[in-house]
Structures are given as C-alpha cells and as structure tokens.
Structure 1
C-alpha cells in the first residue's frame, strides 16, 4: 500500500470512529456539528474542490477553479470553464472557429447538468458562440431539456445572446482545402478530439458537469453526436459521481457511455475501473471497428477520485486538484 493511500485509509477510519462516538455520547445538535466537521475532513482528504476535463485545456480548468476557490458552485465552474474554450478561436473543435460541416456551416452542440439531476442541451446551434450557456438557459428557464436548430438560436437571442459568424478565416481555409477531395475518414486524436467535457466538485462536495463541441469536422449537415445527449456525452449523479466522453460520438451513443460509467461506479467500481469497463463494452462488440476510431472517458466519484481511459494512445485530461493544474496522459486499450 502506498503511503498516501495508507494515510487516506487511516484518516477515514478515524473519521468513522469520530462519527460513531458522537452518536453515542452527544446530543443531536452536537452530533450534527460533528458530522459536518467529519464530512469536511473527508472532502479535504481527497483534495476538494476539484476540476477535471478532457484534453489539454489548462486555461479552462484554471477558470473553473478560480470560481470554486472564490466560493462558487460546481455548476458555475463548469459553465465558465467551458466558455473559455468556446471563445478560443485557435481551438477548432469548440465554439467560435470550430471546423464546419460539409456545407461550410459551424454548428454547435452542448449540454450541462447540475447536482439535482437537472439538465439542458442544445443541438445544431448556429451563430451563437457560448452554446454551453444557452444549454444552461434551457435547463433553468424552460420546461424542456433540449432545443435544436433555429429554435435554439432564436431562444438564445431572446435571452440576450448576440449572434455572430463563427466561421473564422482559419477554419474556412481548412474547409476549402478539404473540399478538393471531399473525403471523410475520422482521424484518431485529431479530428475526433472534438469536445471539451468538464466535471467539477465544489467545497460542499456537489458535482456538476458540462460538454461543448462543434462536432466532427466536415460532418453531414444536421449530424449530432453524443455531447448534447444526456447519458451519452455527459451524466451526473450527485450521490455517486460524474462522467464525460470524447471521441467518435456515434460509438458513445451506442453504449450510453457516460451513464454506463456512473452506474458502474454505483456498483462499487472506482472511476478508473468504470472507464476501462465502458471502453471494453465498445471494443468487444461483435464486428467492432475500434481500431479506426477513438473514444475516451473521464470520470470522478463523490470522494474526489478520478479516472480516465481511451481506446488508443494520446488521449489526455487536465486535472486541477490540490493546487496543481496538470495535463495527464490517459492509459489506453489498444497497445498492439
């Protein structure tokens, strides 16, 4: 057993004893106070608050952690963190500057989910940079979960979002070059790392998550991936944990991947074990073509433990915990 694991286990044992002692010897008010103190001890033990996201997005995780350290909640943190990448024109897989579909239109998908299980999403949204914020408005200001296309755009405008052209010169030039042959074949870890998925746990131990993407480059017009589909690209259960996915969305949808990871954690698996099992469900399907596409998961449980796993090498995550904002290379299945 590693020293850090030993310390954690010993500390948790002490916490359990303290809770038991308070139930025997203290009145209800004292017991409540002791329980609150012990819950805080557990949170501190596992380094809360915590932010984790797909890919190399240190500016985004830094923004989310800034929110948390100022006393903000996990929902605000994931929204503000994702907005950083949506506004980053150099990131051609998210928000403004995203690579377009075959018709030259940049279309965005996004979702968000809070500690209560409330959720909102937008699909095929055009001309609005901050899709994740529109998804939050859908969650909070409508009786719906998902809005699509022109309806999503008009809703966003009604909420004060300013329409703008999302196709930058760099993305337009890339599209023009693609049209010369107009062939489509997913490129592992390049064209497919099309999502920022973010999970956060605040100081209260509450979990929220968000996803935002411009989807696969040069997709058929109208294509929607896993990112805005609750249970596929994102799922949160505040009693258990959360998960976000990245990669070829069609394959994530087929296994309802993020929900699967959280349910595996509910059964007792660690975040790492759950991510690995979810990837195995994809690669072990009959006639799986997994060697030609990438999928990656990142998950966190209620204790603040994290895990990540992918089909192929070079998937990475960014984790901000215990004062360290670090990029971490994921382990992967296909080592052949």
Structure 2
C-alpha cells in the first residue's frame, strides 16, 4: 500500500523527513503528522509556530492547533493556549474525547495541565526582540502591525490507508489578544476523510474563514478530481469570489492529498511546501500562481540557502 505526506512551508521539511521514515516502517498517519508538526513547534527559529512563535500585541505567545483522524472524523483543537509545549499533541488528545473537543484559552490550559502536558514559556528572546522592533516601526513609520501567518498544516496517508491531518500556528504577528484564525477550524484550516483524502490551508485566516476551503477541496476529490485540480479550483474561484465581494483577497494556499498518496497544491501567492510519498523522496517545492494554474517546482539550492540565511540572521 502506498503512503504519503504533504505539508505547508519549507519549515516542515525536517518533520516530513522524520514522518517519512515512520511511514516507511508501517507507522500510522496520526503519529506521523503529530511527530512532524511537533518538530516544527519545537524549533525556535520558525517564528510562526510553537516555541519562538511571534507574539500578540501584548507580547504574549498564543497558539492554535488541531488534529483530525480521517478514519473516525474525530477532531481535537485548541486556540489561544499559552505556555504549553506542543499544542498539536494536546489537540490530538482532545480528539479522543467524546465531548469538549475544542478548548480555548484558560480552559485549554487547564486541560493540558490535568493531562500532564509539559508547561513551558513559549516566548523566546529572539521573538521578544522582533516584537520590540515591530512596535518601534509602528510608532516611527506608521506601518501596519500585522505580519506572519504561516500555519504549518499537514495531511498524511499510511500504508494501511488511514489518513490524518494536523495544524499549528501562533497566528498573526501583533494580533489582538484572543484572535483566532482558520487553522484550528474544521473545514476551513483542515479536513480529512480516509475514504477520500485531506487538505490543509495557510494564509490570511480572516479571509480563509470566509469559506470552507479545506472541506471544499476534499469534496471535489470525492467527485473524482485529482488533488491538484481540486486545490487550484478552490483557491482561484474563492480568490475571485472574495475580490468580487469586498474588493480584495488575502494570501491563500492549500495542500491536498488523496487516499492513494497523490498530492496537489493551489496558491494565489508564492508559497513553499514539502512532500514525500512511497515513490518520491522528501523534497521542498516552491509554488506560484500562473493564471488559473499553480506551478510547482523543486526549490533550488540558492532558494534553500537564502531561506536558511533569512531565518538565522540576527535581529537588528
């Protein structure tokens, strides 16, 4: 049986590699996405997820995460949780509950504490310096405060045909306290059904929440559409619809995989992602829109080197 995993952004590559090793050995899709997302959450230089995630306007790191089991359609999610490591694991634990599967703020933190999850200050010195720099820029240059909404989202199918999806994010940089985007919302930020496939979105949550983007991609795959065609149709049709409605549409990217391990991507901006299957080694790709199509190309060495330099450069 074939297996596969696809994830948003270059930051997921090391997690995708680890997940691929698990899937090769017959590991489950649920364990694969939890492990891979957890690796992104733990790396302090990935500034839009987990430890080192960018703070809200009060310099607090509030995290959102979700997990979905494609066999049972069970979902667990947390939003606005502070000072707990690996919110994706908390979300997965919640997915095993019958009731109260989406918890926010203090309630999510109380659940995490009672269930033995590790407490940790998720604000790094680097993230604090970036926050201070942005506060200064807003004051001196009258810049918009908002930036950084790069959710890590994944979809996987294992050799038994079981599928899972997971997301994790710190949300908009300098967001209002308590702000939640699409990432933990079923059907919008993610959706997976082992009988069909799954999808996960990243971009401007305020716009992605206006439609059930991930669910719509899965629905089109159910009708027989290839993940690539489904992701493209949803992203471009919805981008046009939002523009007609309000005059603008924010950044929007979707990764998708069906239960045969075939994958696809739709995006209205330049976007990177990582994917691996039983037939394809883990690789980072760069995608960009061209008309109503999305072009996906392996990331060049120059692109990868520039990425590394960008995320490791000191905060000035």
Scaled by the length of structure 1, the TM-score of the pair is 0.80
Aligned equivalents of 1:216, 1:106: Cα separation in 2? 10
Give the root-mean-square deviation of aligned CA atoms.
Answer: 1.7
Runs of 4+ in structure 1 off by over 6 angstroms are none
Could you tell me which residue of structure 2 aligns to residue 296 of structure 1? 253
Could you tell me which residue of structure 2 aligns to residue 222 of structure 1? 178
Alignment partner for residue 125 of structure 1, among 66, 81, 106? 81
1:286-324 deviations in Å (ceiling 9; x for gaps): 145546x311000011221110011112x0110112251
Aligned equivalents of 1:278, 1:290: Cα separation in 2? 16
Could you tell me which residue of structure 2 aligns to residue 96 of structure 1? 51
Instruction: Give 1:206 shift.
Output: 1.4
Residues 157 and 164 in structure 2, CA contact (< 8 A), matched pair in contact too: yes
Alignment partner for residue 66 of structure 2, among 104, 107, 111? 111
Alignment partner for residue 40 of structure 2, among 85, 89, 96? 85
Aligned equivalents of 1:198, 1:93: Cα separation in 2? 15
Alignment partner for residue 17 of structure 2, among 54, 57, 62? 62
Instruction: Give 1:137 shift.
Output: 1.2
Scaled by the length of structure 2, the TM-score of the pair is 0.85
User: Alignment partner of 1:279: what SS?
Assistant: helix
User: Alignment partner of 2:166: what SS?
Assistant: strand
1:75 corresponds to 2:33: no
Alignment partner for residue 325 of structure 1, among 274, 282, 293? 282
Instruction: Give 1:263 shift.
Output: 0.7
Within 5 A, what are the aligned runs for 1:1-336?
43=1, 48-56=2-10, 57-114=12-69, 115-141=71-97, 143-182=99-138, 183-184=143-144, 186=146, 191-192=148-149, 194-285=150-241, 286-290=244-248, 293-313=250-270, 315-321=271-277, 322=279, 324-333=281-290
Instruction: Give 1:147 shift.
Output: 0.4
Aligned equivalents of 2:209, 2:291: Cα separation in 1? 21
Residues 245 and 296 in structure 1, CA contact (< 8 A), matched pair in contact too: yes
* Structure ranking higher in strand proportion: 2
Instruction: Give 1:144 shift.
Output: 2.3
Query: Number of residues paired by the alignment?
Result: 283
**What runs of 5+ residues in structure 1 fail to find an aligned partner?**
1-42
1:200-244 deviations in Å (ceiling 9; x for gaps): 110012111100111111111110001100111010111111000
Aligned equivalents of 1:185, 1:256: Cα separation in 2? 27
